[in-house]
Amino acid sequence: MAGPTRTRIAIIGAGFGGIGLRLRQAGLTDFVILEKSDSVGGVWRANTYPGAACDVPSHLYSFSFAPKADWPDKYASQADILRYLVDCARRHGLEPHIRLNAEVTDARWDDAATHWIVRTRDAVFEAQALVSATGQLSRPFRPQLPGIESFAGPAFHSAEWRHDYDLTGKRVAVIGTGASAIQFIPAIAPQVGKLTVFQRSAAYVLPKPDKTYPPWQKLLFSRLPGALWLSRALIYLHHEVTAFAFVDWPAALRVKLKAFRKHLQDGVRDPERQRRLLPHYRIGCKRILLSNDFYPAMDRPNVEVVTESIREVRSDAIVTLDGSEHKADCIIFGTGFAATEFLGPIRVTGAGVDLRQCWRDGAQAHLGITVAGFPNFFMLYGPNTNLAHNSIVYMLECQIRYVVACLRRLCGDEIRTLEVRPEVGALQRAAAGTSQAQRVGQGLHQLVPDRRGPEYEQLAGLYFRVRLEDPHAAMGRVCCPIARSCCRMARASGSSRRHCASRSRSCSSPRSPRACRSRRSAGGCISSHG
C-alpha cells in the first residue's frame, strides 16, 4: 500500500449529500469524495428494483442550484434520478475528485497532528476535515428469520435486486409492505405464478398524483425559469401544510383518512382482504405512502396477504405461527434499511472516543450534524433529521450551507479544529425529548425503533420553523456557524485559553463569521483555545 494521500477534506459517499456539497463553488478545491460502489448516485444507484421511483415530486426532489426543466414525470423514476445525479457530478466538476470502489472501513482522529486518518480497503487519506454523506438508506435491513439459511431458492433484499433471476411463473414470498414493497409488488404481481405478501403492519396508502409532463409544459419550464421556481414553491408549500396537520392539528388528517378509505375500497373488492390491509394505528404515525397500483395488485387472484407472524423458514416454504405453510421458490425482503445504524460498519474514532460507544444508547448529534469529541467531523442526513412529509434534498441543502461555512473557516487556516461542546448536545437532547413527549401525548409521533435503546425520532416539524430557529441554515444566508452552533475551536496559533460567552441569534453580516462572533449574549457556549 502506498503512503497516505493528503487532502483538506474527505467526504464519504457520492449520493445527494456528497454531490450537493459543491465545495469548488465555495472556493474549496482540495477534497476527495470516497464512494464504495462503482458509480455515483447513492441509494438511487443501488435500488434498481422494478417500479423504483420517488414519492416526492421531482421539481422539489432536486437541488435548488441545479433545477431540471425536462423531468419526464412529476414523480421521477430511479433511472431519471440517477441520470440527474451523474449529470450534476459532471457539470459541477466533481468527477476528478471522486474515488470509486473506495469503501471506507475506518476513520481515526489524530489529535497531535489535528487531522483525520481515513482508511479504505486499499488506500489511506489524511484530511483536516471529515464529512459523512452516507445517508440513512445505505444498509439494507434483513430480519433474522429462523431457518433462513436453509432456504433452497434465492433470497434477496429489494435494494440488491437479482435481475438475473426470472420470476416468471414462480412462487414468490415478499416480506414487508413498506415504501419499496408497494412499488415492486405491482410490478411483479402479473409476472409471478403466486405472490404471498407477509405483512407485519399495514400502511396508509393514498393515490399518487403522478403525471407525464407534456412537451409544451417542459418547454415552458425551460424558457421561463420563474415557472419552474413557482412549481417548486407550490410543491413545497403543499407538503408543508401536511406537516402542519401532523404536528399542530392532527384532526385535519381526517381528510386524508377519508381519501385512504376510498382508495382502499376502490382498489380492493374483497372485504376480508380490505380488513387485512387496514392499519391499526392513527394516520400520520408512520410515513403515508403513495401508489395508484398497489391496492389493485393486492386484489389479484394470485396474490395472498398473510398477517400472521413468521415462525420459521424451511427449504421450500415459510411457516407462520398458526402452523400454515406457504410454499415459495424465492424470497424478497422489502424490509427497508438499518436507518439507525449510522455510518454502517465504518469505525469512527474521535479524540479518544469511539462513535459506536458514544452512541451505545442511541445516535445523537447537535443539529444532526456534529458530535462532541469528534473535531472537524460533520454529518449530512444525520441522527433525527429524517423526514415524513417533505424533500430530504431540501433538508440536505440547509445542512450543506452550515457545513460549508464551517469548512471555509477551517480551510482558511484561522483555526485548526472545531467541535460542538458536550453541554450543548445535552441541552438539545433534552429539548428533543420534550418535543417527542408532546407528540406522544397527542397520539401522533414519528418514531423508528432503535434496537440499542430508546426510540429514534424522525423530524416531523415544519421546515420554516427549522429555518427560523437555525438562521445559518436559511436559504441564501450563511450566518456564523461557530457562534450559532455552540462549538469549541482550537486556533492555528496562540497559546492562551479564553472563553467566549457568545451565542449569536442574528447576524448583520451574513458572510462574515467574525462579525457574528462579535455579538455576545449570556449563552456561554463557545470556548477557543490554542
pLDDT, one tens digit per residue, over 422-451 is 877 666 655 555 444 444 444 444 444 444
Rounded Cα distance between 511 and 477, Å, is: 8
Q: Could you tell me which of 45, 67, 46, 47 has the C-alpha nearest to residue 58?
A: 67
DSSP label at 453?
A: S
Stated pTM of the model: 0.83
- Residue 41 to residues 78, 85, 100, 242, 391, Cα–Cα distance (Å): 10, 6, 11, 28, 17
At 500, is the pLDDT very low, low, confident or very high (cuts 50, 70, 90)?
very low
Nearby residues of 93 by Cβ (< 8 Å), 6 or more positions away: 24
Share of the chain above pLDDT 70, in %: 79
Residues 60-66: what's their mean pLDDT? 95
**Owner of C-alpha cell 440547509:** 398
- Residue 254 to residues 242, 259, 283, 350, 462, Cα–Cα distance (Å): 12, 9, 8, 48, 19
pLDDT tens-digit map of 239-287: 888 777 777 777 778 888 999 999 999 999 999 999 999 999 888 888 8
pLDDT at res. 366: 87
Answer yes or no: is pLDDT of 483 > 90. Answer: no
Chain centroid, CA 418 distance in Å: 25
Which has more confidence, 339 or 368? 368
Contact yes or no for 414/492 (Cβ under 8 A) = yes
Q: Which amino acid is at 446?
A: Q
Rounded Cα distance between 297 and 316, Å, is: 24
Rounded Cα distance between 240 and 262, Å, is: 24
The strands making up 171-175's β-sheet, listed across from edge to edge, are 155-157, 330-333, 171-175, 194-198, 303-306
Contact yes or no for 130/107 (Cβ under 8 A) = yes
Cell of 190: 402479473
Name 528's bridge partners: 489, 498
pLDDT at res. 342: 73
Contact yes or no for 373/422 (Cβ under 8 A) = yes
Contact yes or no for 201/279 (Cβ under 8 A) = yes
DSSP label at 42?
A: T
What phi, psi does 500 have (nearest 5°)? -110, 110
Contact yes or no for 470/486 (Cβ under 8 A) = no
Domains and CATH numbers, the chain: 5-138+339-475 (3.50.50.60), 148-209+236-333 (3.50.50.60)
pLDDT at res. 316: 96
Answer yes or no: is pLDDT of 307 > 80. Answer: yes
